[in-house]
Structure 1
Amino acid sequence: MQIQEYTAAQIQAAVTAAANIADNWAQSSAQTRAELLRELGAVLVANREELVRLADEESSLGTPRLNGELDRTTFQLNGFADHIEAGNAFALTDDDAIAGAPPLGRPHLTRVRVPLGPVAMFSASNFPLAFSVLGGDTASALAAGCPVVIKAHPGHPKLSRRVFELAQTVLAKQGLSEGVIGFVEGASVDVGVALVRHPDIAAVAFTGSYQGGNALWAEANSRPRPIPFYGELGSINPVIALPAALSAQAEELAQALASSIEFGSGQICTSPGVVVLFAGADADRFENALRDALQTKKTHTMLTPGMKRNFEAGVARLTGTPGVQTVLRGESNSDDNAPPRPLLVRTSAENFIADHALREEVFGPACVIVRVKSTDEVVAVLNAVGGSLTVTLWGAENDSADVRRITRCATQIAGRVLFSGVPTGVAVTRSQQHGGPWPASTEPFTTSVGYAAMDRFLRPVALQSAPAWLAERAGRPC
């Protein structure tokens, strides 16, 4: 892969172009923004064959998966267009004046939201379309009225450049400034750091590793004027299988979980990395079925050689930890292009809670089985995880004190709690919450998926006794 390393001057030019257009784009109508978003989706569809081919060459994710991802990307763009046309771009609350002094009296107050300004958007490696150049972060920022400067991921540079080129043709066709969507790239950390440090960048959206996100978050907070950093850093996504679920459908659930672990060769932020089982015959049956199902799975080459090496290091770390028994481990292969083999290990709740290494994400098809003896141990395991994008709870259909306690704990540590199905697969809806307490994300009160993602780039402002000309704008920035 030929990766271009952008210079300081090129980064400066991209951000300056975004800053120069920021006020105009903030003042743009919902119709203008919606037309841009829809046409960006249409140009992806029109160039589907080329884009899927490039994506597959650089990611090895396969054409079925990538065609589905292109559809998701277009769905997001169209969905945000619908969302802002429904009035959500300029949503406001209005309190009429009441004569007298506070607290009974009050002036006329209107609470509006103003776009933050240029957003630095860091593309993800594992979704070269849906979380990349024209992915959800870009769509939500543009819908909010913020220009974006995209940091392409070095794992798919040719695809990123081509999508950006197509985006520029759409901007030109609609008579919009090329600064609405900017682009930089580079494999070194310097490009990303320079982008975050630039004084005209008003916010950062990041999807990626804990290490990279944590470092950039520190940069955003160390600026003379710190800025919001919306980082989605991945998680281990515990699955709690209560005895009621396993006694009824241990084999079916094991098959579903195996497919979720294997999906994308485990390179998914919601991949289940931990499954909690109450010790007993049903748990043994489930574990055996999960092992057998994983053994038959055919994974594909990982996204980058570095990710394959990190996965193998994670496998070695888990299997080499005292108190861990290996249930399934394929032969190690030093070839970076060789598909990873699924890993399944088992440990006790006591060991899992005591050893932080068992709670670190292994980016790839790996899962830790934690055997528990009581609800107390389930709660302790969840609290040890500390923060997760998801928790899945099977067998909670009947109300009880234990079920309520586990459910309550799950809602305290996760952004999304599932009571059926598996955590992989994140719907783009108004009610979605993709982001959990640290270390899953840096801003657990926000989401990076779904239409509420737009709210990250809008700052509330109260207009007190606004003049008629401003009130008539009905929330649209002046």
Structure 2
Amino acid sequence: MSIQGKNFIGYQLSAQGQKSFQSYVPAEDKYLPETFFSATPSETELAMALAQRAALPYAAVPAIQRAGFLKAITEEISALGDELLERAHLETGLPMARLQGERARTINQLLQFADLVAEGSWVDATIDTAVPGRAPAPKPDLRKKQVPLGPVVVFGSSNFPFAYSVAGVDTGPALAAGNPVIVKAHPAHPGVSDLTAQAIVTAAKKTGMPEGVFSMLFDNGFEVGTALVKHPVTKAVGFTGSFKGGMALYKLGQEREEPIPVFAEMGSVNPVVILPEKMAASALQLAKTLASSVTLGVGQFCTNPGLVFIIKSEANAEFEAAYRDEIEQVAQATMLTKGICENYVRLSGQALAQDDVQVVGKTLQPVTAFNQAEALILKVSGDTFMSNPTLQEEVFGPFSVLVEFDSPEALKKGIALVKGQLTISLFADPAEAAAQTELIGLMASKAGRFIMNGVPTGVEVCPSMHHGGPFPAATDARFTSVGRHAIYRFTRPQSYQDWDDALLPEELQNANPLGILRLVNNQWSKDAVKQG
């Protein structure tokens, strides 16, 4: 399948504008030959008009057919084979094994949502039947279910070209819920985005979806993204990226005449706390585990541990020496873009330049390609950390700060300073943890996922995963971008009062023709509703 370089507007390809850009190969510091045309205002307007026209027809598509659409997308992505992987390797510098795993994860995500909507109970159908003779006033018949919001704008993320991009954690649940999707492709991997968009459009055509159910627009600036968020047809936005970018979109969404939800995941330093008894028992293994997690993916995951909190103890010296040895052996590796690499060098350098900062360890392996980053671990005292906001901020890359506190009470003060996070981790023996109820409560208040004796990297795609957290990790801590509950970002509750049974959505009809689980008069049941 050849890369088109044009904007995908419904079922049409369009390149009306003069502004264009090329795909960059970070490992080789060169550009690939294809040209990608940024969308013009008229092309953006056409994509939104098609999405608006498709919204009601697509919402009315039976769930089993929407599930078929999602499954068809996975088939088309799989059919791209090595071509998709090789393009992603060029555009991101990520190793092939990592990309194979991410593609499999993306397909699995889509299949999970296909199964979810096909089964149907996700709509949270609730029925409270009428009580005409109730005093002092009759009780009406009330029924409620989740319904789609309407057109959803999705921003592709730089660090996951499959799982958080064109067919990823925002597009999948938005389509599953019955919403048209307009993707603003990330300019760091336009070729991957182009190929994936072709797969989605082919699947939409094969399964008879209305034109406008999916569009994708290119731009290597901010104009198109701004226009999409501000457009009156847009009903929600999904974004994964920097705090600055997420907040800019969030403010745009709130400043509209009709404010809309912007579900932005904006990064995290993912603090790890190691208590003394655990440190004494496992110093060497802890050093190895943390070094691997900090540097995984060149530190370009939203869950790499950027802070490690310890309490002063004799075992710390052994841990630090082992930590240094592990980090020194880490090979230099290519970062996703030239801009990300430059930003990493700048921010890590700023942290290193702060007063009272020590170097625990850094990469000793030589640079072998362009845009490569060295791993760097710094150490500061608890007092230095608490008095210096620069040391509390995320540095996107293979970087972490080891913070040594004088006492458990000082540790709690340090955690209290930490902002909202995607994850927080505690390494402790069971008895040691049981004695720290106050610490555990404080830590739990800071993050969406609380990990015991494990590192934060590795996000399992399953119903119990919560990938979100208190601000500024995300704009709304109540929602996840991973797992089945991600679908609720793109729905709203709709109540029906005193409707004729034949006019109700099937999920709310007395006979329960879809056989879903419903809450009927405060009792969970798949049975038909008995009247009278």
TM-score grouping bracket, smaller chain normalisation: over 0.9
Separation of aligned partners in 1, 2:36 and 2:242:
20
Relative to structure 1, is the Cα distance of residues 421 and 331 closer, same or farther in structure 2, using a 3 angstrom cutoff? closer
1:93 aligns with 2:102: no
Contact 1:48–1:70 at 8 Å: present in 2 too?
A: no
The aligned residue for residue 267 of structure 1 is: 300
TM-fit CA distance, 1:86:
2.1
TM-fit CA distance, 1:52:
0.3
Relative to structure 1, is the Cα distance of residues 224 and 140 closer, same or farther in structure 2, using a 3 angstrom cutoff? same
Separation of aligned partners in 1, 2:324 and 2:434:
32
The aligned residue for residue 93 of structure 2 is: 60
The aligned residue for residue 236 of structure 1 is: 269
RMSD of aligned residue pairs (Cα, Å)? 2.0
SS in 2 for 1:346: strand
Separation of aligned partners in 2, 1:368 and 1:256:
15
Contact 1:264–1:299 at 8 Å: present in 2 too?
A: no
* 2:385 aligns with one of 333, 352, 361: 352
Separation of aligned partners in 2, 1:124 and 1:88:
30
The code of the aligned residue for 2:246 comes to G
1:123 aligns with 2:156: yes
TM-fit CA distance, 1:470:
3.0
- Quick check: which one's strand share is greater? 2
Relative to structure 1, is the Cα distance of residues 24 and 475 closer, same or farther in structure 2, using a 3 angstrom cutoff? farther
Deviations along 1:161-216, whole A, 9 cap, x unmatched? 11101211111111222311110111111111011001000000000011111111
Relative to structure 1, is the Cα distance of residues 331 and 316 closer, same or farther in structure 2, using a 3 angstrom cutoff? farther
Contact 1:22–1:146 at 8 Å: present in 2 too?
A: yes
Mapping of residues 266-305 of structure 1, within 5 Å: 266-305=299-338
Separation of aligned partners in 2, 1:123 and 1:49:
21
SS in 2 for 1:112: strand
The number of aligned residues is 476
Please, which runs of 5 or more residues in structure 2 have no aligned partner?
1-22, 24-34, 510-532
Query: Which shows bigger deviation, 372-381 or 275-284?
Result: 372-381
The aligned residue for residue 47 of structure 1 is: 80
Mapping of residues 170-209 of structure 1, within 5 Å: 170-209=203-242
Separation of aligned partners in 1, 2:258 and 2:382:
44
- Quick check: which one's helix share is greater? 1
Identity of aligned residues (%): 37
Please, which runs of 5 or more residues in structure 1 have no aligned partner?
none
1:433 aligns with 2:466: yes
Question: Which structure is larger by alpha-carbon Rg, 1 or 2?
Answer: 2
TM-fit CA distance, 1:332:
12
Separation of aligned partners in 1, 2:430 and 2:321:
25
Q: TM-score, normalised by structure 2?
A: 0.86
TM-fit CA distance, 1:472:
5.3
1:309 aligns with 2:342: yes
The aligned residue for residue 454 of structure 1 is: 487
The code of the aligned residue for 2:498 comes to S
Instruction: Report runs of 4+ in structure 1 exceeding 3 Å deviation.
Output: 99-105, 329-336, 399-402
Separation of aligned partners in 2, 1:410 and 1:98:
47
Relative to structure 1, is the Cα distance of residues 299 and 87 closer, same or farther in structure 2, using a 3 angstrom cutoff? farther
Contact 2:420–2:446 at 8 Å: present in 1 too?
A: yes
Relative to structure 1, is the Cα distance of residues 466 and 328 closer, same or farther in structure 2, using a 3 angstrom cutoff? same
Relative to structure 1, is the Cα distance of residues 372 and 475 closer, same or farther in structure 2, using a 3 angstrom cutoff? farther
Mapping of residues 26-425 of structure 1, within 5 Å: 26-99=59-132, 106-330=139-363, 337-398=370-431, 402-425=435-458
TM-fit CA distance, 1:389:
0.3
Relative to structure 1, is the Cα distance of residues 13 and 103 closer, same or farther in structure 2, using a 3 angstrom cutoff? farther
TM-fit CA distance, 1:420:
2.4
Q: TM-score, normalised by structure 1?
A: 0.96
The code of the aligned residue for 1:60 comes to G
